[in-house]
Structure 1
């Protein structure tokens, strides 16, 4: 799992987002430490 724009996202959203290669999407980590798929679909061309 790779950290995806963590610093920028934390400043903007107060949350950390992680790129998950298995799901080809982002996982959102909230303050309680739980993760869930993020609705934003990011493609890496």
Structure 2
């Protein structure tokens, strides 16, 4: 998890990565109350990239 920065590639060509947030984060809320979403294809890519 990253707060205040995009550590990966840009999601849009409107800006260039890395695009650090220069403001101040006063609080962050992480809501884990919903259902877990599984993405088997993405998880496989993650595991294969670590090989």
Please state which band the TM-score falls in when normalised by the shorter chain.
under 0.3
- Taking structure 2 as the reference length, what is the TM-score of the superposition? 0.24
Answer 1 or 2: which has greater strand percent: 1
> Which has more radius of gyration?
2
